[in-house]
Every structure is written in C-alpha cells, then in structure tokens.
Amino acid sequence: MARFVMNAYTVMCVGAVTASYLYHRWRNGYYSCSFYSIYKYVTMIENAFSLASALQFMLSAMVLCLVGVQFLSIENPSSHCMQIMWMAVYLTCMLTEVFILCWFGNQLIIKSLELQNAAFASPWLGTDSTDKLFIIILMERSKRPLQVTAGKIFTLSLDAYTNLINWSYKAFAVMRNMKNNVVIFDE
C-alpha cells in the first residue's frame, strides 16, 4: 500500500509545486481531467487497502504492547541478550512498517493542500473568465485535502501514527498493572 500512496504522492508533484508549472499545465488542458484522475486514484487505493491498513494498525498496536509485556517478563535480561535483541528488531520492523504508511499518507495530505496555494500564486487573474472559473473551482476543491483512511476509521497520517504509539502504551500499561496486581491465593 505504501507504494500506491507514494505513487499518488508522486503524481501530486513530489517537488515543490510552482505557480508557473501549474499555470502552464492548466493552460494546456492537463488539469481539467488530471485532478479528477488523481482523486479517482486515491479513492481506488483507499477502497483496495482500507481494511488491510486498519487491520495492520490494530495488530501492530497489539504486537507493540505484547512485545513490551514480553520484555517485562524476562527475569534475567543479561542471560537472554539474543532474545531481547530479536524482540527489539521485530519491534523496530513493526514500527517502521506502520510509519511508512503514515508518512506517505501525511505527504499526500500536505501536497494536496499545497496545490491550492500554487493555483492561487499562478497568473490566473490575467486569463479569460473560463480559466479563472476552472482555477477557482480547483482552489475550492483543494481546501479539502486528499487523504487515505484505514477502514474509514482514521486517516493515515503522522497523527495516526502517534495515536497508535499512545494506544499501544496505554494497553501495555494496563497489562503491566494487571501483571503486578495478580494475587495468588493459597489454601
């Protein structure tokens, strides 16, 4: 999914969107169908990967808290160096996998918001009324950023990544407290 989000992000002009670039593309009729194509592409990506990314988020939160509990359950850490190292590597891989999805989703949001500023900065006031109307419509549509959601629950962004880490820590803290408060009754 990260590759598809990255492709949409690349289509949204990976480099800085300049006003002159946008204006020349608009004058050549490129944006009359291009923005709609990008919108359809992002919608297609969301429809295809929404459920998978939602499951990825939920399972990653569970894995993060369970690996944390497993770290706590090691009684003599100095004698289990390899086990700790492999858990740290696994934890890093899980965090990186989710971070890549969130980072590209965040970049898609940022670049789609920059499109409005680039359209406004173009020399559109000197064009005919039809071009002005199309650019105004593009600017109004660009007020609402393109975004990919995970299961229609939350948007893939760096805020969602931070929330994932917070959820994992909260679940870890609850499990740790439950483990510490276990009372064994002797008969």
Q: What is the pLDDT of residue 102?
A: 93
Per-residue pLDDT of 132-154, as tens digits, reads 888 888 888 888 899 999 888 88
Take residue 178 and report the two structure tokens written for it.
């439950």
Q: What percent of the chain has pLDDT over 90?
A: 14
Q: What's the CA gap between 78 and 91, in Å, rounded?
A: 19
φ/ψ region of 152 (left if φ > 0, alpha if ψ in -120 to 50, else beta) reads left
Please report the pLDDT score of residue 110 as a whole number: 93
Tell me: pLDDT of 109 over 90.
yes
Half-sphere exposure in the Cβ direction for 52 (13 Å, CA): 9
Q: Return d(Cα 76, Cα 86) in angstroms, integer.
A: 16
If one counts every other C-beta atom within 10 angstroms of the C-beta of residue 168, the result is: 21
Q: Where are the domains of the chain?
A: 2-9+17-179
Cα 145 to Cα 90: distance, rounded to the nearest angstrom: 34
- The pLDDT value given to residue 16: 44
186, pLDDT greater than 90: no
Residue-averaged pLDDT of the chain = 79
Q: By C-alpha distance, which of 168, 173, 150 is closest to 60?
A: 168
Lowest mean pLDDT among 23-37, 43-57, 117-131, 148-162: 23-37
Instruction: Residue 183: count other Cβ atoms within 10 Å of its Cβ.
Output: 4
Q: What is the pTM of this model?
A: 0.72
Q: What is the pLDDT of residue 136?
A: 86
